[in-house]
């Protein structure tokens, strides 16, 4: 049966779901780190206990344990390699020597009153579907998707005469939470509510295992934000999505510290 309220997240870091900055650190303030050091540890490439990233064919995200700790950034540089670009999210100010390659404002929304329910027409997508999935991702550009991203969780699709025309699935999985991601519909099939049905169906599976759904979108995507709010998501946080270039040689690092 459909459910109309999220399961409580089994996390001691959970704070009330409200817009703005919570009074105490929340697991969703650093979701990539929470996932890589928790349920997604099997996908992680780690640098001690201070930095981690997803395997390069799984997801683009890197993370630091504590953005205020220089050791985390040293570990991230070691993990990435000099002059390499890393993708992170949050409100981050890296040490001197790190170059901001790009930065965009995002919005994080959490499920507060979503009606989650199965979609009978949806099919489970797997590794054999990846070529077709990548074609749909390239056409619709909902965000990064790599050959093994589909291994991160359940991905559902809707087909029309055998052709994949819409999809949604699970990406980051911090303890107690699961991110709904890759929500997209072929342009020829928009306006039929396919994406909404898939979001509800993915959320139903997330809820069944006791997690709370959340998702991210770009702040400029006001149409998507209005849609998500209309079906039961609430804006919790406004993180940035960022890419930084790591410092180069040891001489370069020393020069930035003068």
3 pLDDT band (50/70/90 cuts)?
very low
Is residue 168's pLDDT more than 70?
Answer: yes
Query: Above 50 in pLDDT, residue 21?
Result: no
SS3 of the chain: CCECCCCCCCCCCCCCCCCCCCCCCCHHHCHHHHHHCCCCHHHEEEECCCEEEECCCCCCEEEECCCCCHHHHHHHHHHHCCCCEEEEEECCCCCCCCEEEEEEEEEEEEECCCCECCCCCCEEECHHHHHHHHHHHHHHCCCCCCCCHHHHCCEEEEEECCEEEEEEEECCCCCCEEEEEEEEECHHHCCCCHHHHHHHHHHHHHHHCCCEEEEEEECCCHHHHHHHHHCCEEEEECCEEEEEECCCCHHHHHHHCC
Q: Mean pLDDT check: name the lowest of 54-58, 94-98, 150-154, 231-235.
A: 94-98
Question: Could you report the per-residue pLDDT of 169-204, keeping only the tens digit for each?
Answer: 999 999 999 999 999 999 999 999 999 999 999 999
For residue 257, pLDDT over 80 is answered with no
User: Which residues lie closer than 8 Å to 171 by C-beta, 6 or more apart?
Assistant: 59, 149, 152, 153, 179, 180, 181, 182
pLDDT band, residue 91 (cuts 50/70/90): confident
> How confident is the model at residue 248, as a pLDDT?
87
pLDDT band per the 50, 70, 90 thresholds, residue 16: very low
Rg of the chain taking only CA atoms, in angstroms? 19
Q: Is the pLDDT of residue 12 over 80?
A: no
18-22, 61-65, 139-143, 213-217: which range is least confident on average? 18-22
Determine the pLDDT at residue 205: 98
Mean pLDDT of the chain: 89
How confident is the model over 112-167, as pLDDT tens digits? 999 999 999 999 999 999 999 999 999 999 999 999 999 999 999 999 999 999 99
Mean pLDDT within 201-220: 98
Q: Locate tokens 């489970």: which residue?
A: 124
Please report which confidence band the pLDDT of residue 23 belongs to, taking 50, 70 and 90 as the band edges. low
> What strands, in cross-sheet order, belong to the sheet with 51-54?
44-47, 51-54, 62-64
CA distance 151 to 179: 14
């Amino acid at each position: 049966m459909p459910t109309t309220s999220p399961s409580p997240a089994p996390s001691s870091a959970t704070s009330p779901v409200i817009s703005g900055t919570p009074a105490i650190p929340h697991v969703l303030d650093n979701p990539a780190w929470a996932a890589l050091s928790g349920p997604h540890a099997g996908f992680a490439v780690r640098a001690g206990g201070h930095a981690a990233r997803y395997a390069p064919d799984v997801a683009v995200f890197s993370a630091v344990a504590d953005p205020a700790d220089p050791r985390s950034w040293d570990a991230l540089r070691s993990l990435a390699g000099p002059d390499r670009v890393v993708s992170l999210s949050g409100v981050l100010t890296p040490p001197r020597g790190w170059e901001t390659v790009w930065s965009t404002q995002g919005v994080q929304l959490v499920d507060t009153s979503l009606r989650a329910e199965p979609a009978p027409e949806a099919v489970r997508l797997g590794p054999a579907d990846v070529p077709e999935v990548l074609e749909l991702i390239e056409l619709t550009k909902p965000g990064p998707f790599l050959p093994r991203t589909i291994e991160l969780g359940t991905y559902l699709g809707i087909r029309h005469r055998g052709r994949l025309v819409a999809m949604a699935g699970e990406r980051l999985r911090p303890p107690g939470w699961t991110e709904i991601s890759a929500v997209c519909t072929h342009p020829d099939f928009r306006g039929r509510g396919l994406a909404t049905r898939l979001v509800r169906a993915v959320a139903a599976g997330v809820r069944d295992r006791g997690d709370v759904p959340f998702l991210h979108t770009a702040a400029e995507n006001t149409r998507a934000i209005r849609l998500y709010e209309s079906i039961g998501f609430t804006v919790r946080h406004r993180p940035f999505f960022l890419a930084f270039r790591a410092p180069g040689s040891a001489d370069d690092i020393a020069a930035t510290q003068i």
